[in-house]
Amino acid sequence: MAHQEKATSGVEWRITLEDGSSKSLVPDAGPVSRIWAGVGGLIAGLVLKVREFLRRAWDIGVDDPRKVIHCLKVGMALTAVSLFYFMRPLYKGLGGNAMWAIMTVVVVLENTVGATIYKCSNRVLATTLAGFLAFGVHWVASQSGQEFEPLITGASVFILASATTFSRFIPSVKALFDYGALIFILTFSLVTVSGYRVDKLFDMACQRISTILIGTCLCLLVTLFICPIWAGEELHILISRNMDKLANSLDGCVDEHFDYNDEHKDSDKQPDKKLLGYKCVLSSKATEESMAEFARWEPAHGRFNFKHPWQQYLKIGASMRSCACCVAALNSCIDSENQAPEFIKKHLSNICLKVSSSSSSVLKEVAKTIKTMKRSSSVEFLVEEMSSAVQDLQNEIKSLPELLSPPEVLHTESKETDDTTSTIHLLDVIPVVTLASLMIEISSRVQAIVETVEELAELAEFKGEVQEKEKQNQPNINRIVASQLNDDQQTVKALERV
Amino acid sequence: MAHQEKATSGVEWRITLEDGSSKSLVPDAGPVSRIWAGVGGLIAGLVLKVREFLRRAWDIGVDDPRKVIHCLKVGMALTAVSLFYFMRPLYKGLGGNAMWAIMTVVVVLENTVGATIYKCSNRVLATTLAGFLAFGVHWVASQSGQEFEPLITGASVFILASATTFSRFIPSVKALFDYGALIFILTFSLVTVSGYRVDKLFDMACQRISTILIGTCLCLLVTLFICPIWAGEELHILISRNMDKLANSLDGCVDEHFDYNDEHKDSDKQPDKKLLGYKCVLSSKATEESMAEFARWEPAHGRFNFKHPWQQYLKIGASMRSCACCVAALNSCIDSENQAPEFIKKHLSNICLKVSSSSSSVLKEVAKTIKTMKRSSSVEFLVEEMSSAVQDLQNEIKSLPELLSPPEVLHTESKETDDTTSTIHLLDVIPVVTLASLMIEISSRVQAIVETVEELAELAEFKGEVQEKEKQNQPNINRIVASQLNDDQQTVKALERV
């Protein structure tokens, strides 16, 4: 706007239109001011975009400060390696190969401990193996004369690279050695080919492996001892949090449907919150799998042993997804246009709310079991409560027809009016019946979730809450017994002394 | 067993047990034969495992021969780069930096064209940018004196590495430049730090960039011109194939439920096939997303333009997943123990089969639309057929009560018997009603899929089948008209000549 004001400071042209209104004609801005305006607009747009970008980045940092910590860790590790580089004696010992330490740190240092260990072990193993193999191939090639040397080298690179690349498509290899396969090809090609030129191949290989070991050790130190983020713990938290979300979304979904007190205006806010729940569960499969993959590389940490059954978490995740699928169906069934008449809804609202709240409290209790890693004594009771609520719901549905067909209508005398009178509005009941049977299905899937968690508790040897309390009491009893014994012994001694 | 026979060739010891039976005592095998047996068992086990592994690898290769082709491509590209290395003039020109070409090929050559282009462009861009930046930092550091040099270098590495690592957490950066960020950190650190030692920094940087360019170009040539695998095409095929699978699984699911002719023995085979369908759809989200991500890097290929709306495929995928969720619920509802009485099932079987077959034929038609990239003229008709089938199903359900409560039972004279007579077995109907309403829900989701595909057809400017036919006719007409004109002209010319 600024350039327009400047431009109109001279003569003003006006045109009077047919309807009598007049319009001032603004002369075209000169090319210079137009360029200025364009540049200004561009800069303003850029500034806005950058601000927006920074704001989003800030949000990400605030949302999960550990991400920021990870970034600082990467910066720190790299600076440490660089300083290493600046120390002349070390640099002289390692030669130009010191860059491999930097490369290792950049490529290997990952967000979680498990991923870092996976990459470190893969890198060291693959480099060593490929180094030795390349050394052998190089020896054979050098023995076979000048003409055959490139041939043997080329053929070995072709065959090994193709075979190793193929192995990356095999699921079991991919899960454990995907990165290793890449490094294997890389090292093998580099050493085989460069071996043709560099005479001191063995020295080079040793230097390279030692620099990689330096980088690896630094990464392991940084990842293990500075605010470690454990893939296993993340998986553990993710599963229990998702279960809470599923419970809340089930609750929210049914509550909203049967809630007559709240105004409809408020329901606009609800969907996001309740939808997020089961959608999170449905979409977290890939995350769970990669976490479980990395978790198995981790040593014992916190409450988790080395052989913690991480694969069982995937089973729990799968059973949760199957339940979330049903919640999704329930949700769309509730959102659909066909709604049951209010009186039927009212009739069933209490029992439906009971089923949903009992199902979700089972889920919450199970989530607590996972969170605390202690067997809950009340799960069995809650599951029974859920089953009885489901039974009640089924009974309630059995009694629905009485509601639908009031006796005075049913008991008509003439056979002719048959068609009109006996037509129970079954179509009206469909939404409620569907809702009910989906809720019954959900409760059976909740049962399946409980079973998978039960398995986890057995595999990971969770302690029972009661057991725990008994144990806490046990030492007291022992102490009492011991002190009694002590007293007795002292009495005996005192008697002896007498 | 072999060693036992040898061992028992001497004296035989027998023991007679209390029940009169006698047992020969086999002397313990010697340590040597035991070791032999152990080694034999180990080798046999290993051979078995290796055979199993190779068999699985073979299956993978047979299942998708393009994977094998990709492996051969990697081998070829690497051998080509190695041969390059063997050419003395080139090697002398590039110095030890020739290894960067090998490294580039190993790291950059991916299965699909899109992924390769993504990595190539990221690598070249990031290397160039980081190289120039590092050069600048190095210059500033070298101007600031001996003491400050390591300080400035270290600080710049720390800050840039941390910031770049953080940027990888931002979704928009991650989608486009995740690999580039890694390479940026790597190159910046290497150049900044090594700059302290190597005097000919500029030469080195140029050599490195040129070798990376050589590797990149080779990868692009190999990936583009030798059996290219396009991420976009893969996505396209995946989506249309998944839609077919969904249709088949919907069909199979309902067919099996209402199939009275087949024996139950046959149904053991069915579940796998029909289950696979919707489960494939539910679990292919991650694949779809990565494909769509890579597809946007690809140039126009086959029937796809450069700006093909790949994002729309993700929307179609999401709508398919929401439909698959319902099919999953339907499936579990069918598998549940509560089954409707046979006569109700029989009554509804025809109309239910009609709804499912019309829904699945809509899906199949839409899949064909995607596959052929031609607007189908029959989709609208099929959708209408589906809607009318749904309407019929609703009517049929309306008429259910008549079936349930035969008039002679309903029309009792006394009010006392009310409770027993008016109790329609609604509980029996629940499974069927649930099934029906899930099928209605599924048909509405099929409708949503049709809409997303419709959007795709508009965005990608699919041609109509009819339009296509008209166009095919058009040239003929033109040719006829042209030949007629030709004839006319020739007649005119002939007349002129006369």
Contact assignment for B434 to A433 by CB distance below 8 Å: yes
Q: Lowest-pLDDT range, A224-238, A419-433, B94-108?
A: A419-433
In whole angstroms, what separates CA B406 from the centre of its chain? 53
Strands B374-375 and B463-464: parallel
For residues A344 and A403, the answer to whether their CB atoms sit within 8 Å is yes
Q: Lowest-pLDDT range, A220-224, A386-390, A450-454, B332-336?
A: B332-336
Contact assignment for B336 to A444 by CB distance below 8 Å: yes
A33 lies in some domain: no
Q: Over the stretch B450-482, which tens digit does the pLDDT of each residue have?
A: 999 988 888 888 877 655 445 455 444 444 444
For residues B98 and B83, the answer to whether their CB atoms sit within 8 Å is no
B130 lies in some domain: yes
Contact assignment for A434 to B431 by CB distance below 8 Å: no
Q: Is 80 exceeded by the pLDDT of residue A198?
A: no
Give chain A positions within 8 Å (CB) of B415.
407, 411
Mutate which: A70, A105, A106, vs B, most B CBs within 10 A: A106
**Dihedral-angle region of residue A336 (phi above 0 means left; psi in -120 to 50 means alpha; beta otherwise):** beta
| Same domain membership, residue A154 and residue A138 | yes
**What whole-number distance in Å separates Cα of residue A146 and Cα of residue A156?**
16
Calculate how close chain A gets to B398, using CA atoms only, in Å: 6
| Same domain membership, residue B240 and residue B158 | no
Give the pLDDT confidence score for residue A119 in this predicted structure.
92
Give the pLDDT confidence score for residue B116 in this predicted structure.
93
For residues A113 and A230, the answer to whether their CB atoms sit within 8 Å is yes
B7–chain A Cβ distance below 8 A for any pair = no
Give the pLDDT confidence score for residue B235 in this predicted structure.
92
Q: Over the stretch A289-344, which tens digit does the pLDDT of each residue have?
A: 989 989 988 888 888 888 888 889 999 999 998 888 888 888 877 776 666 677 77
Calculate how close chain A gets to B322, using CA atoms only, in Å: 8
B491–chain A Cβ distance below 8 A for any pair = no
For residues A66 and A229, the answer to whether their CB atoms sit within 8 Å is yes
Q: What is the CATH number of the domain that holds B473?
A: 1.20.58
Tokens of B124: 């070249």
Give the pLDDT confidence score for residue A23 in this predicted structure.
60
A489 lies in some domain: no
At A199, the pLDDT band (50, 70, 90 cuts) reads low
Neighbouring CB atoms inside 10 A of B149's CB total: 18
> Which among A185, A405, A433 has the least Cβ separation from residue B106?
A185
B344–chain A Cβ distance below 8 A for any pair = no
A194–chain B Cβ distance below 8 A for any pair = yes
Contact assignment for A154 to B79 by CB distance below 8 Å: yes
**What whole-number distance in Å separates Cα of residue B164 and Cα of residue B160?**
6
Q: Is 50 exceeded by the pLDDT of residue A205?
A: yes
Calculate how close chain B gets to A433, using CA atoms only, in Å: 6
Q: Over the stretch B383-434, which tens digit does the pLDDT of each residue have?
A: 898 999 988 888 877 776 665 554 433 333 333 344 433 444 666 677 777 8
Q: For B77, which residue in chain A has the nearest alpha carbon?
A: A158
| Same domain membership, residue B450 and residue B303 | yes
- Of residues B321, B354, B355, B353, the one with CA closest to residue B449: B321
> Could you tell me the CA-to-CA distances from B197 to A200, A210, B148, B200 in Å, in that order?
22, 20, 16, 9
Give the pLDDT confidence score for residue A301 in this predicted structure.
83
- Of residues A386, A387, A365, A385, the one with CA closest to residue A454: A365
Contact assignment for B196 to A86 by CB distance below 8 Å: yes
- Of residues B119, B101, B121, B102, the one with CA closest to residue B110: B119
From the number of C-beta atoms within 10 Å of its C-beta (0-12, 13-18, 19+), residue A65 rates as: exposed
Q: Where are the alpha helices (DSSP H) in B373-425?
A: 379-398, 400-404, 407-410, 418-421
Q: Is 70 exceeded by the pLDDT of residue B20?
A: no
- Find tokens 């040239």 and name the residue: B475
* More confident call, A399 vs A4: A399
Q: With pLDDT > 70 as the criterion, what percentage of chain A qualifies?
A: 73
For residues B439 and B355, the answer to whether their CB atoms sit within 8 Å is yes
Calculate how close chain B gets to A269, using CA atoms only, in Å: 22
Contact assignment for B82 to A411 by CB distance below 8 Å: no
Neighbouring CB atoms inside 10 A of A334's CB total: 17
Contact assignment for B102 to A193 by CB distance below 8 Å: yes
Q: Number of CB pairs < 8 Å for A and B? A: 263
For residues A442 and B434, the answer to whether their CB atoms sit within 8 Å is no
**What whole-number distance in Å separates Cα of residue A94 and Cα of residue B108?**
28
| Same domain membership, residue A321 and residue A195 | no
Q: For A181, which residue in chain B has the nearest alpha carbon?
A: B106
At A403, the pLDDT band (50, 70, 90 cuts) reads low
At B275, the pLDDT band (50, 70, 90 cuts) reads low
| Same domain membership, residue A251 and residue A217 | no
> Could you tell me the CA-to-CA distances from B271 to A315, B279, B442 in Å, in that order?
20, 12, 20
List the 353-382 stretch of A: residues with Cβ below 8 A of B: none
Catalogue the E-assigned strands of A88-205: none
Q: Lowest-pLDDT range, A39-48, A179-188, A413-422?
A: A413-422
Neighbouring CB atoms inside 10 A of A193's CB total: 27
At B119, the pLDDT band (50, 70, 90 cuts) reads very high
Which residues neighbour A18 within 8 Å (Cβ) at sequence distance 6 or greater? none
Question: Which helix (H) or strand (E) segment is A375 a member of?
Answer: strand A374-375
| Same domain membership, residue B395 and residue B254 | yes
List the 151-180 stretch of B: residues with Cβ below 8 A of A: 153-154, 157-159, 161-163, 165-167, 169-170, 172
Q: Lowest-pLDDT range, A60-64, A86-90, A263-267, B398-402?
A: A263-267
Calculate how close chain A gets to B464, using CA atoms only, in Å: 33
- Find tokens 């290989």 and name the residue: A205
Which residues neighbour A267 within 8 Å (Cβ) at sequence distance 6 or greater? A256
For residues B346 and A454, the answer to whether their CB atoms sit within 8 Å is no
Contact assignment for A322 to B336 by CB distance below 8 Å: no
Of the spans A137-146, B106-115, B405-414, which averages the highest pLDDT? B106-115
Give chain B positions within 8 Å (CB) of A427.
394, 397-398
| Same domain membership, residue A254 and residue A215 | no
Contact assignment for B75 to A162 by CB distance below 8 Å: yes
Q: Over the stretch B332-375, which tens digit does the pLDDT of each residue have?
A: 777 766 666 777 777 778 888 888 889 989 999 999 888 888 88
Give the pLDDT confidence score for residue A154 in this predicted structure.
86
pTM of whole model > 0.80? Answer: no
Give the pLDDT confidence score for residue A264 in this predicted structure.
47
Whole domain around residue B287: which residue ranges?
A: 231-258+272-402+428-477
In whole angstroms, what separates CA A161 from the centre of its chain? 34
| Same domain membership, residue B95 and residue B172 | yes
Contact assignment for A190 to B107 by CB distance below 8 Å: no
Give the pLDDT confidence score for residue B44 in this predicted structure.
92
Q: Is 50 exceeded by the pLDDT of residue A265?
A: no
For B90-129, letters b (16+ CB in 10 Å) and e give eeeebeebbbbbbbbbbbbbbbbbbbbbbbbbbbbebbbe
The amino acid occupying position B483 is: S
Give the count of alpha carbons within 13 A of A203, CB side only: 7
**What whole-number distance in Å separates Cα of residue A131 and Cα of residue A213?**
14
Neighbouring CB atoms inside 10 A of A361's CB total: 17
Give the pLDDT confidence score for residue A143 in this predicted structure.
81
Give the pLDDT confidence score for residue A18 in this predicted structure.
58
Give the pLDDT confidence score for residue B482 in this predicted structure.
46
Q: Is 80 exceeded by the pLDDT of residue B102?
A: yes
Q: Over the stretch A333-389, which tens digit does the pLDDT of each residue have?
A: 777 666 667 777 777 788 888 888 899 899 999 998 888 888 888 888 898 989 999
| Same domain membership, residue B140 and residue B87 | yes
In whole angstroms, what separates CA A360 from the centre of its chain? 21
DSSP 3-state of B269: coil
* More confident call, A12 vs B191: B191
**What whole-number distance in Å separates Cα of residue B155 and Cα of residue A79?**
8
Of the spans A89-103, B62-76, B143-157, which averages the highest pLDDT? B62-76
Q: What is the total count of domains within chain A? A: 2
Contact assignment for A411 to B407 by CB distance below 8 Å: no
For residues A164 and A154, the answer to whether their CB atoms sit within 8 Å is no
Neighbouring CB atoms inside 10 A of A210's CB total: 15
Of the spans A261-270, A432-441, B379-388, which averages the highest pLDDT? B379-388
**What whole-number distance in Å separates Cα of residue A446 and Cα of residue A448?**
5
**What whole-number distance in Å separates Cα of residue A184 and Cα of residue A129?**
7
Q: Lowest-pLDDT range, A107-116, A146-155, B199-208, B271-280?
A: B271-280
Q: Is 60 exceeded by the pLDDT of residue B268?
A: no
**What whole-number distance in Å separates Cα of residue A130 and Cα of residue B249?**
47
| Same domain membership, residue B288 and residue B188 | no
Could you tell me the end-to-end alpha-carbon distance of chain A, in angstroms, rounded to an integer?
Answer: 112
A396 lies in some domain: yes
Mutate which: B170, B193, B285, B409, vs A, most A CBs within 10 A: B193
- Of residues A254, A283, A282, A281, the one with CA closest to residue A270: A254
At B11, the pLDDT band (50, 70, 90 cuts) reads low
Question: Which helix (H) or strand (E) segment is B13 a member of?
Answer: strand B13-16
Q: For A329, which residue in chain B has the nearest alpha carbon?
A: B326
| Same domain membership, residue A297 and residue A199 | no
* More confident call, B422 vs B293: B293
> Which among A60, A329, A424 has the least Cβ separation from residue B169?
A60
> Which among A186, A196, A410 has the least Cβ separation from residue B106?
A186
B8 lies in some domain: no
B190 lies in some domain: yes
- Of residues A162, A189, A156, the one with CA closest to residue B68: A162
**What whole-number distance in Å separates Cα of residue B216 and Cα of residue B101?**
8
At B239, the pLDDT band (50, 70, 90 cuts) reads very high
Calculate how close chain B gets to A56, using CA atoms only, in Å: 8
Could you tell me the end-to-end alpha-carbon distance of chain B, in angstroms, rounded to an integer?
Answer: 111
Phi–psi pair at B61, nearest 5 degrees: -65, -40
For residues B324 and B142, the answer to whether their CB atoms sit within 8 Å is no
Average pLDDT, chain B: 77
| Same domain membership, residue A121 and residue A153 | yes
B207 lies in some domain: yes
From the number of C-beta atoms within 10 Å of its C-beta (0-12, 13-18, 19+), residue A371 rates as: middle
At A136, the pLDDT band (50, 70, 90 cuts) reads confident
Average pLDDT, chain A: 77
Angle at CA of residue B332, ends A316 and B252, nearest 5°: 125
**What whole-number distance in Å separates Cα of residue A85 and Cα of residue B197?**
10
Q: Lowest-pLDDT range, A270-284, A399-413, A462-476, B214-228?
A: A399-413
N residues, chain A: 498
At A118, the pLDDT band (50, 70, 90 cuts) reads very high
Tokens of A300: 């014992």
Mutate which: B94, B146, B189, B222, vs A, most A CBs within 10 A: B189
The DSSP symbol for A463 reads E
**What whole-number distance in Å separates Cα of residue B360 and Cα of residue B467?**
26
**What whole-number distance in Å separates Cα of residue A96 and Cα of residue B71?**
32
Neighbouring CB atoms inside 10 A of B455's CB total: 14
* More confident call, A76 vs A92: A76
Q: With pLDDT > 90 as the criterion, what percentage of chain B qualifies?
A: 14
For residues B227 and B73, the answer to whether their CB atoms sit within 8 Å is yes
- Find tokens 């292919």 and name the residue: B284
From the number of C-beta atoms within 10 Å of its C-beta (0-12, 13-18, 19+), residue A448 rates as: middle
Q: What is the ipTM score, two decimals?
A: 0.77
- Find tokens 């099996």 and name the residue: B256
B466 lies in some domain: yes
> Which among B82, B196, B427 has the least Cβ separation from residue A397?
B427
